[in-house]
Amino acid sequence: MRITFNMMTGRILDDLMSSSERLMAAQKKAASGKRISSPSDDVSGTGRALNLRSTISEIEQYLRNGNIVKSELAAAHGALDSIVSAIRHVRDLALQAANSTMTPEARLGIAAELDQILITLAADGNTQHAGKYIFAGTKTNTPPIAATGVPIPPYSYDGNNMETTIQVAPWTSMCTNVTGDVVFNMGGAAVPTAPDLFSTIQALKEEVVAGDTQAISNRLTDIDANLSNVAAIRSQVGAWLNRLEATTEALLDSKLIMADLLSKTEDIDFAEALVELRTRENIYQAAIATSSRILQLSLADYLE
């Protein structure tokens, strides 16, 4: 078979194009840092990478959910701290007022202080976070604690008793709220044997003004029942926050593992990539030099 000049130049150009394409592929790998730039580079690796990316995306969503829960529970915990402190102060005032030697003026001072505590507790009950009332159940746009305009009960609960939950990990969901009816024992929701916290303080105020030391002493039972209830709820919220923290740490560890597997699946070994790039460059330069030499000789032969 006779090898023509056109056939020879065509073959040389094909070889140069192939060498150039391999050089460009090596340059792309080194520049992007990725071993897989299209599914055809590694079909099974592409499938693995897609699954890993999906898993990482799910973990990131769970972490965002966890941040939402954490902020809401932290707001509730802060409000519960304030409520516990207020009830303890009410108890201290009750112990002071149980002294039969206290003057009427001093009793009026304690009564005025109890009035202010009632206002503070109502404000705590209407605590908002991100524009939502955190103790209102699912009626987050409605202030849950409302003044009644009568001595007993001085405040009513306008929320509901619905709890909200959110998925914070593949293996668990968490409650994001506590409801005000339980916190303040409205209608005996938490302690059926004791009146709600607002009614307890209002009754104490009237007993203080009347100087009824026996009734004040008896009222301590109701105060302690409400204090124990709110303290228990605060502890529960604290436990939820601790559990959420542990869940977040587990998710972050899992995300690091998935990210490492993804890197091993689709990222290049830079040392190998640089060696391959240098090799492809040398091959391409050699191919150009060889082709140039062959074409020169062939053309000279052709002219002869």
| Helix, strand, or coil (residue 128) | strand
Residues 72-83, buried b or exposed e (16+ Cβ, 10 A)? bbebbbbbbeeb
The predicted structure's pLDDT at residue 238: 96
Q: Please report whether residue 290 resides in a domain.
A: yes
Q: Report the C-alpha gap between 104 and 171 in whole angstroms.
A: 61
Residues 219 and 104 in one domain: yes
CA 295 to chain centre: 68
Task: Please say whether the beta carbons of 17 and 291 come within 8 A.
Answer: no
pLDDT for the residue numbered 304: 47
Report the 10 Å Cβ neighbour count for 114. Answer: 21
One domain, residues 154 and 108: yes
> What confidence score (pLDDT) does residue 45 get?
77
Q: Indicate if 105 and 173 belong to the same structural domain.
A: yes
Question: Does 85 share its domain with 155?
Answer: yes
* 140 and 83 both lie in a single domain: yes
pLDDT digits (tens, 9 = 90+) for 158-200: 999 999 999 999 989 999 999 999 999 999 999 999 999 999 9
Contact 30, 274 (CB under 8 A): yes
Verify that 127 and 73 share a domain, yes or no.
yes
Cα 99 to Cα 67: distance, rounded to the nearest angstrom: 49
Give the pLDDT confidence score for residue 62 in this predicted structure: 96
The pLDDT assigned to 44 comes to 79
CATH number of the domain that 250 lies in?
Answer: 1.20.1330.10
Rounded CA separation 241/174 (Å): 10
Residue 158 makes CB contacts below 8 A (sequence gap 6+) with: 136, 139, 142, 143, 144, 145, 146
129 domain residue, yes or no? yes
| Parent domain of 222 | 53-260
pTM higher than 0.85, yes or no? no
Q: Is residue 276 part of a domain?
A: yes
Place of tokens 């590694």: 42
The token pair at 75 is 């707001």
Q: How many domains does the chain have?
A: 2
Q: What is the pLDDT of residue 254?
A: 94
Report yes or no on 244 lying in a domain: yes
Within this chain, do residues 24 and 141 fall inside the same structural domain, yes or no? Answer: no
How high is the pLDDT of residue 100?
A: 87
How high is the pLDDT of residue 258? 92
User: Do 16 and 74 lie in a common domain?
Assistant: no
DSSP 8-state code for residue 135: T
| Residue 97 pLDDT | 96
Whether residues 242 and 195 fall in one domain = yes
Same-domain check for residues 119 and 226: yes
In a domain, 46, yes or no: no
Q: Report residues of the chain scoring pLDDT below 70.
A: 1-43, 267-304
